[in-house]
Chain A
């Protein structure tokens, strides 16, 4: 009897894991997170090279999905050591004090073609904002792919040195291409 219960518990647990279908997000699987800033009229897109995430996505129950993404702020790569040093400073990312930016979904609204609107809390440099991001979902050989773009105001997160006022736009475009691997 006890044996049977144990097996039942194991089966339920396994079933639960299978249902949750947690997808791990890492740069290694081909995922990308970039920020595009406009300086003096020139748009420059640069990647965050380190981030981790977990997306629970069930195409049959999209509304039950959850998404979490944590980005290592010190991994932002302008492609130039001097600019990378600048952006890690206190007035910009202050990545020594605030090493990670985080998005945690609070509600998912299904949209067309398996896509959804993800509403959640975006935490950058210790400041929290609620944002809603339209997410496209597609399938690739590597797994389920989640694509989206959203705009933020860097100043709303206390990012930026007044010296650069008028040179670097306030608007930052964040793009993500997340490949969910097992």
Chain B
């Protein structure tokens, strides 16, 4: 019985755990910056904050793609025993999180380009413009970015609540195994 035996997997790979917490950190930073920077007065600090926010978004997008590839090639441990509706909710929630991890940064990227701003990763690496400058397009993608980011924040909140419920109410291994890893 090897640790790779798919029928006997109870923990995540080290890479999966590391990517989970890295992405979690960057998403929270991105959300926090996104909410504060829009209320800032015009200043170099605000401009910098917008740039950092974009870099965080590109980082999330890249890490999310890596996570998706890793997830598709490394079987995660099965869910702990729970009712069917909870299984569906868990799988649906995880699918939604993966989708939003990719879509929220992408809508931000498109929104930035539509306002005439190229995204230059870390101020060094110019990324391709996905759309040309267009006021109406910018307004649409701005709305889409904010709405989807809000959906992401709510989904994360539910994800955290579910994890805490498993840990404190059901007293199962769900949360604990996100702090353990196999090689």
Contact = CB atoms under 8 A, between A and B. Distances in A.
Interface stretch (A42-50, A51-59, A134-142): A42-50
Interface string B115-140: 11111100110000000010100100
Given A40-B48, A79-B138, A163 B116 contact: no
Contacts of B115: 79-80
A163 B41 CA distance: 13
A41 interface: yes
A100 to B, nearest CB: 24
Given A79-B135, A79-B138, A44 B117 contact: yes
Nearest to A163: B44
Interface of A is mostly: mixed
Interface of A: 39-46, 79-80, 82-83, 85-86, 163-164, 166-167
A43 B118 contact: yes
A42 B135 contact: no
Contacts of A83: 42
Nearest to A164: B44
Contact of A42 (B42, B51, B133, B138): B51
Nearest to B43: A163
A46 B116 contact: yes
A46 B123 CA distance: 20
Interface of B: 42-44, 47-48, 51, 115-120, 123-124, 133, 135, 138
A167 B138 CA distance: 24
A41 B120 contact: yes
Contacts of B47: 39-40, 167
23 contacts: A39-B47, A40-B48, A40-B51, A40-B120, A41-B120, A41-B123, A42-B51, A42-B117, A42-B119, A42-B123, A44-B116, A46-B116, A79-B115, A79-B133, A79-B135, A80-B115, A85-B42, A163-B43, A163-B44, A164-B44, A166-B44, A167-B44, A167-B47
A45 to B, nearest CB: 7
A131 to B, nearest CB: 26
A173 to B, nearest CB: 14
B138 A86 contact: no
B130 to A, nearest CB: 15
Interface centre among B47, B124, B135, B138 (most CB of A within 10 A): B47
